[in-house]
Structures are given as C-alpha cells and as structure tokens.
C-alpha cells in the first residue's frame, strides 16, 4: 500500500469528493485550500515532479483543470481563478485550481501566521470543510468527459 495520499485516494483507501475522473487523472476537492471551492487535479500514475510528466499527460491534467476553472468562475463568480503547480505538499504531481478574491490569494494569504516573530505558511489556520460541503462542491464543479 502506498503512503502517498493521492495514490491512497486512487486505490480507494482514502475518502475524497471527486469532481472528475477518467482513465488517467482524477480531480478532487482539496482538504486544505484558502477557499473550499477549489480543485486539485492529478495523474493516476504516481510521478513526484510535475515536470517529469509526459507532455501529453501534463497537457491533459492542465486541460481538466482549465475546464474546472471555467466551472469555478461560472458557479461561484470569484474575482479571478488561479491555477498552478505548487510543487510542495503532496509529493505526487498535481495541478491546483482555485478562486481568488484578493491579489495575495495566489500565495494563499490565509495560510500565513506568525510564530516566534516570523511569518510562516501552513495549513493550521485553514478550516477543513465537512465531507458534505466537499461533496456539494464536487457535484457543483462536475465537468463532462
Ligand atoms: Zn502518489
């Protein structure tokens, strides 16, 4: 059994609110996001670095993220929709798609906190939505294959 949480989800060992799934990728509502109406899209194959994905797979993952981004904009009307590869967190290549309502949302300003006089970033101040809320968001953001 893999220790990678995304592989655990793919293997059915961890619960997730699925937005989209096909033969090669999965899109879910993330547990930790500045705004819960977000998505994380990843290939089913465990590959650590996004830049190591075969180009067709990277394009496919980003294309799914693009469609979900359009859905986020149409369903939730944020100021902007941001997309990107963070590169840290889960060591399984993934593409983030998230609403933005402030210029600093691209760096997840809600993740900032001060400890011992230094500004740090982490998930500790981000609430985890209920499974019901994440399932509702997943149903709202469903896209067609
Ligand atoms: Zn993995």
Confidence of residue 93 (pLDDT cuts 50, 70, 90): very high
Enumerate residues 6+ apart whose C-beta is below 8 A from 32: 123, 126, 128
Is pTM, for the whole model, over 0.75? Answer: yes
Tell me the CA–centroid distance for residue 48 and ligand 1, in Å.
7
Q: What is the mean pLDDT of residues 47-65?
A: 97
User: Is 90 exceeded by the pLDDT of residue 123?
Assistant: no
Contact between 58 and 73 under an 8 Å Cβ cutoff? The reply is: no
User: Is 90 exceeded by the pLDDT of residue 139?
Assistant: yes
Tell me the CA–centroid distance for residue 114 and ligand 1, in Å.
31
Instruction: Tell me how far apart the alpha carbons of residues 34 and 55 are, in angstroms, rounded to a whole number.
Output: 29
Between vectors from CA 49 to CA 82 and to CA 99, what angle results, nearest 5°?
A: 10
For tokens 């060992």, what's the residue? Answer: 13
Tell me the CA–centroid distance for residue 78 and ligand 1, in Å.
30
Instruction: Tell me how far apart the alpha carbons of residues 24 and 145 are, in angstroms, rounded to a whole number.
Output: 12
Q: How many CA atoms lie within 13 A of 66 on its CB side?
A: 7
Q: What is the mean pLDDT of residues 117-124?
A: 81
Tell me the CA–centroid distance for residue 46 and ligand 1, in Å.
4
User: Is 70 exceeded by the pLDDT of residue 118?
Assistant: yes
With residues binned 3-state (H G I as helix, E B as strand, rest as coil), the percentages for the chain, rounded to 5, are 35, 20, 45
User: Is 70 exceeded by the pLDDT of residue 30?
Assistant: yes
Domain spans of the chain, in order of start: 5-141
Tell me the CA–centroid distance for residue 120 and ligand 1, in Å.
26
User: Is 70 exceeded by the pLDDT of residue 129?
Assistant: yes
Instruction: Tell me how far apart the alpha carbons of residues 7 and 1 are, in angstroms, rounded to a whole number.
Output: 9
What superfamily would CATH give domain 5-141? Answer: HIT-like (3.30.428.10)
Q: Of 84, 70, 91, 92, give the one whose Cα is nearest residue 34.
A: 84
Tell me the CA–centroid distance for residue 24 and ligand 1, in Å.
13
């Amino acid at each position: 059994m893999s220790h990678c949480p995304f592989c655990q989800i793919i293997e059915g060992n961890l619960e997730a609110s699925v937005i989209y799934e096909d033969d090669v990728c999965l899109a879910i509502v993330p547990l930790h996001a500045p705004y819960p109406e977000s998505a994380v899209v990843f290939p089913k194959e465990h590959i650590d670095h996004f830049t190591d994905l075969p180009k067709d797979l990277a394009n496919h993952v980003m294309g799914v993220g693009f469609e979900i981004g359009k859905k986020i904009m149409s369903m939730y009307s944020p100021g902007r929709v941001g997309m990107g590869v963070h590169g840290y967190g889960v060591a399984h290549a993934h593409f983030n798609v998230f609403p933005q309502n402030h210029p600093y949302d691209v760096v997840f300003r809600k993740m900032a906190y001060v400890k011992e006089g230094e500004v740090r970033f982490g998930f500790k101040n981000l609430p985890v939505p209920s499974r019901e809320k994440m399932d509702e968001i997943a149903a709202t953001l469903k896209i067609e294959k």
